[in-house]
Amino acid sequence: MALIRLSDVSYTYGAGYALQGINMAARKGELVGIIGPNGSGKSTLFKIIDGLLRPSQGVVYLAGLPLARKTRKQIAGQVAMVPQENYFLFPFSVKEVVLMGRFPHKGIFQFEGDTDLKIAQEAMELSKCDHLGDRSIHELSGGERQRVLIARALAQEPQVLLMDEPTTFLDIRFRKEFFELVSSLCSQRGLCSLVISHDIDLASMYCHRIIMLKEGRIYAEGSPTEVVTSENIGEVFGCPVLVDKNPVTQTPRVNII
């Protein structure tokens, strides 16, 4: 069964459509890459799936039930998002930020217990930021902060994980490790994960399926080999490329020409 399903979803911020007629679904254990140029509606799509924005038209279903009938806390118990922008007003420690991920699983006035601390610790180890535990979130590099936000999302123990350009500040090793981590969480723990990324080659290596957006609509959808073609990338990004195959993994490789 689809954990997430969007049925004819459109969204407008006021002037024109940011998303139009979106039909898509993602299952348990699936890793789906979302690609598309700046302004094509990728972040808006995630805000709709996370319930931060209500569709102007259409319905979002989470595990078969309309998202609109759920409270924020109920949604947060099932869906975690690593947002594109992040800003912390207070100099929380890394550990505190990761523990915030436990919030949807707590009652009012209920403090973190040993289980929460253990889950937070494991999440920090998985995203390789456990050595930063006592540091202030304000004193980290972009890549370190991104790994902390990934840990916070994992500590939330979601069924659906949405990550909006999570590899932007990561170096080449952490980019690969990030995709390996998410890929193993999907296959071993049955997580359903949607990743927005401009790392088209890496997304092609690890994602089961790619959805390509253009001007708020789905332009192409299918396996990486079906979607990541010279024609599609050239047309959607307006940039001539030659897509061939990575000689080792045999997955699509984008060469700018």
Q: Which residues lie near ligand ADP (CB under 6 A)?
A: 13, 18, 36, 38-44
Nearer to ligand ADP, 13 or 88 (CB): 13
Nearer to Mg ion, 98 or 162 (CB): 162
Min CB(247)–Mg ion separation in Å: 32
Q: Report in angstroms how near the CB of residue 19 gets to ligand ADP at its nearest.
A: 8
Closest CB to Mg ion among 46 and 243? Answer: 46
Binding at 38: pick from Mg ion, ligand ADP, none (beta carbon under 5-8 Å per type): ligand ADP
CB of 244: closest distance to ligand ADP in angstroms? 26
Instruction: Find out whether 10 and 20 touch, Cβ atoms under 8 Å.
Output: yes
**Contacted entry of ligand ADP, Mg ion, none for residue 159, CB cut-off 5 to 8 Å set by kind:** none
Cα(119)–Cα(5) distance, integer angstroms: 28
Residues in a beta bridge with 217:
214
In whole angstroms, how close is the CB of 135 to ligand ADP at the nearest point?
29
| Interface positions with Mg ion (CB under 5 A) | 42-43, 84
Residue 41 binds: one of Mg ion, ligand ADP, none (C-beta under 5 to 8 A by kind): ligand ADP
Question: 3 or 48: whose CB is closer to ligand ADP?
Answer: 48
> Residue 167's binding partner, choosing from Mg ion, ligand ADP, none, with beta-carbon cut-off 5 to 8 A by kind?
none
Taking the complex as a whole, how short is the minimal distance between the CB of residue 215 and ligand ADP, in angstroms? 9
To the nearest whole angstrom, how small is the minimum distance from the Cβ of residue 7 to Mg ion? 23
Answer yes or no: are the C-beta atoms of 47 and 91 closer than 8 Å. Answer: no
Name the residue nearer to Mg ion (CB basis): 20 or 43. 43
Task: Report the 3 state secondary structure along the chain.
Answer: CEEEEEEEEEEEEECEEEEEEEEEEEECCCEEEEECCCCCCHHHHHHHHCCCCCCCEEEEEECCEEHHHCCHHHHHCCEEEECCCCCCCCCCEHHHHHHHCCHHHCCCCCCCCHHHHHHHHHHHHHCCCHHHCCCEHHHCCHHHHHHHHHHHHHHCCCCEEEEECCCCCCCHHHHHHHHHHHHHHHHHHCCEEEEECCCHHHHHHHCCEEEEEECCEEEEEECHHHHCCHHHHHHHHCCCEEEEECCCCCCEEEEEC
User: Which residue number, 9 or 18, has a Cβ lying nearer to ligand ADP?
Assistant: 18
Q: Which does 88 bind (CB under 5 to 8 A by kind): Mg ion, ligand ADP, none?
A: none
